[in-house]
Structure 1
Amino acid sequence: MVDAPAGGTTRRPVVVIGNFDGVHRGHAELLRDAQAEEPDAPLVVVTFWPHPMSVIRPDQAPALLCPLERRIELLRAHGASDVVVVDFTPEVASWSPARFVDEVLRPLHPIRVVVGENFHFGFRAAGTVEKLTELGRGSFEVTAVPLLTDGSQPSSSTLIRQAVAEGDLGRVRELSDHGYRFSGVVVQGDQRGRELGYPTANVAVPPGLAVPADGVYAGWVTRLDQADAPRWPAAISVGTNPTFDGCERRVESYVLDRTDLELYGVPIAVDFYARLRGQVKYAGVEALVEQMHDDVEHARQALRTSSPTR
């Protein structure tokens, strides 16, 4: 049910609980506060997979900002010693607050549990910060951290999803402290890009994952199967290839000035930086190629003064 921390430790940890989809600035602040509360304790993060809403109300489940592997990577980058993944099932959804504490928290032997001030847990979200404090009395302390705001509203995964859906990558960086990354395995496409002089690495868009609005973007491509792989500047298309009456939504990346890359079957990361234009259906191949040439030059200009982020 719960993947325990790796390695083990004799020191009692400070435990932080949350969904942490996208690991935005508010999440990072929560982890920093936990470390400040117990600076000598290991920092253990408890998160849930799949997203609880996909189990409780599948029709209302949000599009995820990143897969579980990326979430764990970001949490570790923000100081987590270990990440405990709770396999969220209908049974777990039915647990009382007391059972949640007994099954998930007590086995970790926390010295302190840190949560956001709006934290709820247990069946029908009956558990509150006050209830958690009561259940932990004599075993662990509880700290509730105020939500980080951008001046008008709390930082949230919901706001970032909205910015991603609108293709507003600057807003994504403001809210998350890092850019938006899409990852997947390169599949064979229609190979039209190669014929037109702009070969692309194509990744299918899986259901349930957030993707920027259809259009053309500047960003970077990185192989994920090699340590310290270079990040290549790229022009990135998101959409269905309407000029050719396509229907499958894909992320297609042309690595600038490279026609020699063989990436079929290779896992890659696509880091979006800036939106260049929306998706357009062109009258023919000649008009499309002319636009692709302009897109590549605009991508080059957009990336010239920027730096890639992981």
Structure 2
Amino acid sequence: MIRIFHDWRDLPPDARGASVALGNFDGVHLGHAQVIAAAHAARPDAPLAVLTFEPHPREVFRPDDPPFRLTPSALRARLLGEHGVRLLYELRFDRAFSDLSADAFIGEVLAAGIGARHLACGPDFAFGHRRGGDVALLAARAEALGIGLSIVPPLADAEGRISSSRIRRLLRDGYPERAGALLGRPFAIEGVVAHGDARGRLLGFPTANLPLGPVLEPARGVYAVRVTLADGRRLEGVANLGRRPTLGGDPETRLEAHLFDFAEDIYGETITVSLIAYLREERKFPDLAALQAQIAADAAAARAALDRDRSAFA
């Protein structure tokens, strides 16, 4: 089980002395996994930890930006745990914390606070007031303090560096498969199933409705999906992500997932919807009959896409 701490001060002894990966870790993608692996490889005898921030600094300094997070805090922690991280220093980021100098971050937080034995980060890791600290400063100060440091080269493929920004662009452009390849798993949206207006049921395709919440909005449209229920069961389905223009339009984006061959009541449960393939863009239909026919076609297309996806990994 991963243990989460929101302050670096007064930590219990068994929460200190770790090998620590540094960064925001939004998405916990393959590049992040490489930094975590480097932290573990350098000191396999030490607890494996990640130091990150909550909220994301961008949310503090640019609060009016549209949601951009790939992984809310709870999902990020779970994913980090799956990578073997046992200690998560999820430090509260606010204006006061942002005023901490780079030297103070190293001396007070990393050394005196969490007692890091080793650090790992990417070459562009920046920290401290106005991002005044860089890896050169970190290397010099860490050496003086007797803390090891691994600077991990960026992970790249034929199309360039693997980064959270690149994954966001792919999702906004309607390429969940390519985003999933960089994440090391399908991009997923978690939420509590809410009551809707039952239009899907009336059309013969009941749906589990999720508010999108404060996360990145992928391309609006129809997706083939896999859904993990609260009890761990995994189902397949088709989902619409958008604002339902045919039904009068919604003020906020929602995800409506129709689960194949499933008729149980899951209202109020937390489910995870993984986007496997993008089938078509969102559009307005002339009437409900046209919409119903298109949903049937979408369901057939989703089944075919999911079959292809299974075959690719068989």
TM-score w.r.t. structure 2 length? 0.91
Aligned to 2:156: 149
Which residue does 2:140 correspond to in 1?
134
* Displacement of 1:197: 1.0
Aligned position for 1:202 = 209
Higher deviation after alignment, 186-195 or 35-44: 35-44
The one of 64, 88, 91 equivalent to 2:93 is 88
Cα distance in 1 for partners of 2:218, 2:15 equals 44
**Contact 1:54/1:61 (8 A) holds in 2:** no
Question: Residue type of the partner of 2:135?
Answer: V
> Residues 5 and 15 (structure 1 numbering): CA distance in 2 closer, same or farther, change over 3 Å?
farther
Tell me whether 1:269 sits opposite 2:269 in the alignment.
Answer: no
Deviation at 1:28, TM superposition (A): 0.6
The Cα of 1:169 is off from its aligned counterpart by 1.1
Q: 2:38 aligns with which of 5, 23, 33?
A: 33
Shift of 1:4: 7.7
**Matching of residue 24 in structure 1 with residue 12 in structure 2:** no
Separation in 1 of the partners of 2:294 and 2:62? 43
Are residues 235 and 46 of structure 1, via their aligned partners in 2, closer, same or farther at CA, if it must alter by over 3 Å? Answer: same
Per-residue deviation at 1:56? 2.3
The match for 2:105 among 100, 104, 110 is 100
Contact 1:4 1:84 in 2 (8 A): no
Q: Which moved more, 1:137-146 or 1:156-165?
A: 137-146
**3-state SS of paired residue (1:173):** helix
CA distance in 2, matches of 1:46, 1:11: 12
Q: In 2, distance between residues paired with 1:166 and 1:76?
A: 30
2:166 is matched with 159
**CA 87–250 in structure 1, closer or farther in 2 if over 3 Å, else same:** same
| Identical counterparts, % of pairs | 36
Contact 2:225 2:277 in 1 (8 A): yes
Does the 8 Å contact 2:239/2:258 carry over to 1? Answer: yes
**Paired position in structure 1 for 2:176:** 169
1:256 aligns with 2:247: no
Count the aligned residue pairs.
304
Q: Letter of the 2:150 partner, please give it.
A: T
Over aligned residue pairs, what C-alpha RMSD do you find? 2.2
Where structure 1 has 5 or more consecutive residues not aligned to the other structure, the ranges are none
Deviates more, 1:2-11 or 1:56-65: 2-11
Q: Please report how far the alpha carbon of residue 39 of structure 1 lies from its aligned counterpart in structure 2 after TM superposition.
A: 2.2
Question: Are the aligned partners of 1:97 and 1:123 in contact in 2 as well (CA < 8 Å)?
Answer: yes
TM-score (norm 1): 0.92
Unaligned runs of 5+ in 2: 1-5
State the Cα deviation string for residues 6-45 of structure 1 (Å, max 9, x = none): 9853983211110000011110111112222122222111
Distance in 1, Cα, partners of 2:130 & 2:246:
48
Q: Distance in 2 between matches of 1:62 and 1:192?
A: 28
Map 1:277-296 to 2 at 5 A.
277-296=280-299
Note the 1:52-131 alignment, pairs <5 A.
Answer: 52-60=57-65, 63-106=68-111, 107-131=113-137
Cα–Cα, structure 1 residues 66 and 5, in superposed 2: closer, same or farther, change >3 Å?
A: farther
Q: Distance in 2 between matches of 1:256 and 1:271?
A: 15
Judged with a 3 Å threshold, the aligned counterparts in structure 2 of structure 1 residues 101 and 61 are, in CA distance, closer, same or farther, namely: farther
Report the Cα distance in structure 2 between the residues aligned to 1:65 and 1:280, rounded to whole angstroms.
Answer: 25
| Distance (whole Å) between structure 1 residues aligned to residue 210 and residue 15 of structure 2 | 44
| CA distance, structure 2, for counterparts of residue 28 and residue 203 of structure 1 | 29
- TM-aligned CA distance change 1:62 to 1:252, over 3 Å: closer
1:126 & 1:190 partners in 2: Cα distance? 51
Contact in 1 for aligned 2:223/2:279 (Cα 8 Å): yes
- Which residue, 241, 259, 265 being the options, matches 1:238? 241
AA partner of residue 51 (structure 1): H
Secondary structure, in 3 states, of the residue corresponding to 1:299? Answer: helix
Displacement after TM superposition at 1:307 (Å): 4.6
